[in-house]
Each structure stands twice: as C-alpha cells, then as structure tokens.
Amino acid sequence: MNGKLTMIKVVQAFDRMPLAEVADDEEVALERKLDTAARIFGNRDCWLKPYQRIEILQRLVTLMEGKREHFSRQIAREGGKPLTDAIVEVGRAIDGVRNATEVLRTAGGREIPMGITPASVDRWAFTIIEPLGVVVAISAFNHPLNLIVHQLVPAIAVGCPVIVKPAPATPLCCVDFVALVREAGLPEGWCETALLENNELAEKLATDPRVAFLTFIGSSRVGWHLRSKLPPGTRCALEHGGAAPAIIDRSADLDQIIDPLVKGGYYHAGQVCVSTQRIYVHADIERAFLDRFAARVAALRVGDPVFAETEVGPLIHPREADRVSGWIEEASAGGASVIGGGRITDTTLLPAIIVNPPAEAKVSTQEVFGPVTCVSRFIKLDEAIAAANALPMAFQASVFTEDLRSALRAAERLDASAVMINDHTAFRTDWMPFAGRRQSGYGVGGIPATMHAMTEEKMIVFRK
C-alpha cells in the first residue's frame, strides 16, 4: 500500500461528463468489513429485535421520501435512465422498503405435528426463523437504487449483516442509500459498501467462507462462475438476463398492444433483463402490426435522460453501443430488414426493429440489452411457442390474444417463470416472485422471496 487512495471515476451515461469520484476499497478495507460482519453476527447479543428492524426501516422510508428528487436525478445521470422512469424507480424502491416491514409483521415459524405416531407422543414441536448469516450483494447498473433495495433491505429486515458491491458505473445511489440506512439507525457494521473495480477482489469477497449468502445480479457468465467457486454451505441467488419472447396471436387487438410492446422493448433503452426482445407475430396481421409498431417506435423521443420528455436514453458505455450496433449490422448482412436505428452520441442509439433476423444471428440467440426488438412471423401458435422456447435461457414471456384458448395454451406451454397475457414481458411488481430459469438464473427474487432465502428454520422439540 502506498497510502494513496485509488478513485473510481463516475461519469454521466449520456455525455460521459465527469459526475463524481468515490474511493476504491482496497483488500485491507474489504477484510475489515468482512471481519466486522462475521463478528457481529457471531455475537447473538448484537442481533437486533424485529421491532427494532421495523423502526429502522420505517425511518428509512421517511428519509427516502425526502430524497425523491435527488435519487431520481442521480439515477438519470449516472445510469442514463430517462427521468420519468427514474422517478418511478424511486417510488418502487421506497415501496420495497415498506413491503419488507409488512413481511416482517407476518413472518414466523410453524407447528410441526406430533402425536401422530407412538414414537412422537407427548412431544410438541415448532420452528422459529433465524437469519442465515453474512450476506454479500453484487448489483447491476440498470436499476441503481431499486436493485440495491432488493438486495440490501431483505438482509436488513431479517437481521443479516450485508456488504454490497454496486456496479462501478453506478455507485452513487448505493453510497447515498447506505448513508440513509445509517441515518435511520442501523448500527455500524450491519450494512457496508464494497466499492471495487478490481474483479479479483470482487470474486474474493463473493466467495469468502464467512459469507452465508450471495445475491448476484449481472451476466450469466460471471454469475455461474461465482457459483462454481462458492465454498460448501454458501447459498446464493443469481439473476441473469434473457431474450424475452412475446407472441402476437391473430386475434390480438392492435389498438391495445402497441404501446405495451414499445414500453417492454425500449424501456431504459432495452437494458432490462426481461426486456421484450423477440416478437412473434401471426402472418395474417404482420403487415398491419409492423406499420403501427414502427410508427410508434419512430416517434420515441431519444436524448438526454435528465429531460422530462426523453423516452429513450443512452446505453451505459460506448462499448455497449458499439456491440449493439455490430449485432444489428450482422443481422442486416444476414438478410434481415432493419427499421430505424442509427447513433446520435457515443452511448446513444436510435431504436431499431429487425424484421425476420436469421435464426443464428446474435440478436436471435443472445440477450441484446439495447434498444432493439426482433419481429418474426408465424402461422401456427405452436410454431411461435417452439421458437420462443428454443434458447437455453428463460425468464418472462408474453402472449397477446383475445382468444382464451390461445392464452391458456401459450401460458401453459411457454418455458418461462412468468407469462404475461396482454402485457409486456418487462412487467413486474416488487413483491411478486422474480426468477430466471435455466441459464437465466438461480433462486427466486422479489422482496418477500429474498427475505425467505436469507433465513432458515430452527426446530425446537419439547418432551412433556
């Protein structure tokens, strides 16, 4: 160590102008935080009672309410999410904290039946809920406040010490949120940040044997690698991405479906793990659908996310814009038609629609994570379902139809953790279960489900 702090430079996503600098944690600081978390969890006299945790979270809600505008603008600036959507994210984050307090009021153990065999006579058994242990959270850039809430607040609520590593591109909301948690009264050591650009240190944090639970949101390559390195006994939840399919049945009401599909495909410039990417439209309505869809996509207002009128902002980094542009060019060279597209800044792409992309193209087989949707025709519903299920990742899916039989058939046969009927694939509420299947993830997210995952039952048996 040379005594000089290494700084992480944070820039605005849209124009790459400097925004702030935060100190990068070194190995010594990381060790201190891990040691503190393990030590305070190991001393049961330090554990906070449920009513104390509820009071802290209630104060946190009040503090966050007072920072609505601050967080909204910070999300827009560091993450590039349009301000109108950033405002919604802040509201969801505040409600997520409330949701955790509500779950705490009803969470509890259960009675285990006894006396139902001769050997179990004169016994009384029940379970209590205990926190699992030290939690490490590794978060993503695309929802820099709400994802932090989803990973930290369940740990705080159930009584687990938690160390969070935000994405290096968007650490500011996380730093401010953890400061509010402290202001709300959570004792020192129970919630810490790990500000890291060094991937080796991040892996060391995630795979430390003192960690009981890893919650990871990010790429499948990194997530599955970390899971393979976890020591015995460490649990985890992984949330990766997908290439979410939406099926437009011939009975679909075009007057009702265009806006939801545009929202699902281009919200946050497509940088959402369940963003609508593959649209399968019945041949009978393909032309009418494309005309309306293309007109609405072309009308999207693209630009600086801090302006209230902006609907589509930038990608998080110029290299991501390079990648997405390259994928569009590859599909076009393979015979697909491209509607829209183009680049207006280093990070900002105009929304594109790729019509009938090659089956082997990257836009057809991988997660685009950009302002791109792919439209392909089908004749029979089962053909669309088979195409939707063809990839090794599976998350959320949609079917748009006015026919009940088609809705139920698609809902039953689509390989997805959630199927939306007449709504886009990116719909979610923060209390609903949220999970990827196969390569798209492991475990279940959502505030209540994450709280459950971060606890374990202890059975107590009395003999009369």
- Of 273, 77, 307, residue with least CA distance to 171: 77
- Of 82, 127, 98, 80, residue with least CA distance to 318: 80
The reply to whether 239 belongs to the active site is: yes
The reply to whether 200 belongs to the active site is: no
pLDDT at 1: 46
- Of 186, 180, 188, residue with least CA distance to 63: 180
Cα–Cα distance for residue pair 168/51, rounded to 1 Å: 34
Q: Which of 89, 239, 311, 367 is catalytic?
A: 239
Give the tokens for residue 111: 């009675």
pLDDT at 198: 86
Give the tokens for residue 67: 């920072």
pLDDT at 2: 52
pLDDT digit string (tens) for the chain, length 464 residues = 455 678 999 999 999 999 999 998 888 999 999 999 999 999 999 999 999 999 999 999 999 999 999 999 999 999 999 999 999 999 999 999 999 999 999 989 999 999 999 999 999 999 999 999 999 999 999 999 999 999 999 999 999 999 999 999 999 999 999 999 999 999 999 999 999 988 899 999 999 999 999 999 999 999 999 999 999 999 999 999 999 999 999 999 999 999 999 999 999 999 999 999 999 999 999 999 999 999 999 999 999 999 999 999 999 999 999 999 999 999 999 999 999 999 999 999 999 999 999 999 999 999 999 999 999 999 999 999 999 999 999 999 999 999 999 999 999 999 999 999 999 999 999 999 999 999 999 999 999 999 999 999 999 999 98
> Tokens 């609520």 label which residue?
157
Helix axes 199-206, 27-42, angle to 10 degrees: 10
Could you please report the per-residue DSSP string of 304-346?
A: -TTSTT-SB---SSHHHHHHHHHHHHHHHHTT-EEEE--BSSS
Give the tokens for residue 93: 């984050």
Q: Which of 160, 191, 236, 273 is catalytic?
A: 273
> What letter represents residue 408's amino acid?
L
